[in-house]
Amino acid sequence: MKRLAVYCGSATPEDPRYMELAAQVGKALAERGIGTVYGGGRLGLMGAVAKGALDAGGEVIGVIPEALANSEVANHDCNELITVSGMHERKQRFTDLSDGFVTLPGGVGTMDELWEAMSWAQLGYHSDPVGLLNAFGFYDELIAFNQRMSDVGFVRPVHSGILVHAQTIDDLIEKMKAYEPHTPIFRMKADDL
């Protein structure tokens, strides 16, 4: 893995553990020689991820929509800051520039990015690992819900392992490295669907 897209919130929660976690993730990626591709902002967890990676000498590529870049939240400290027209182009760039996806705690935008990465993997738009960092049990219910979708039959058995999750970034990276791509829907026969 040369680069990972990191999805996370632009908010700064009251609990300082989340900002510390984001900085640790950026640092951990840089120390492994893995570049960080992220939302291009300087605020909240986004900014902490970028700072952690940059302070450790890592590559940081920010991808930010024009509307946000113009509102003075863009992080001009990135090695490269790419301005795009909107959110759809931003997520496409994340996919094009990265070898996988890591999702940290976040809100609605983070969930949008995570579910799209999973959906695109299921369909076959990419075959990269989709990681979920379940620090502090933040995503316990989401992991259970994802399992529920599989149990009920809305996620095919062949796709039930798309979401890779762990409680620490070290464990998550190791699981992502070991990820075996599945058969995407685009290559399945109608009888398999």
Distance CA 115, CA 167 (A): 19
- Whole-Å CA distances, 98 to 8, 11, 91, 120: 15, 23, 11, 14
pTM: 0.94
Distance CA 48, CA 13 (A): 12
Task: Name residues whose C-beta falls within 8 Å of residue 59's C-beta, 6 or more positions apart in sequence.
Answer: 3, 30, 35, 36, 53, 79
Q: Where are the domains of the chain?
A: 3-183
Output b/e per residue, 54-76; b: 16+ Cβ within 10 A: beeebbbbbbbbeebbeeebbbe
pLDDT, tens digit only, all 193 positions of the chain: 999 999 999 999 999 999 999 999 999 999 999 999 999 999 999 999 999 999 999 999 999 999 888 877 899 999 999 999 999 999 999 999 999 999 999 999 999 999 999 999 999 999 999 999 999 999 999 999 999 999 999 999 899 999 999 999 999 999 999 999 888 887 777 777 6
Which class does domain 3-183 fall in? alpha beta
Q: In this structure, are residues 47 and 39 in contact, taking their beta carbons and an 8 Å threshold?
A: no
Distance CA 22, CA 105 (A): 9
Q: What is the pLDDT of residue 193?
A: 65
Q: What is the pLDDT of residue 130?
A: 98
Q: What is the pLDDT of residue 110?
A: 97
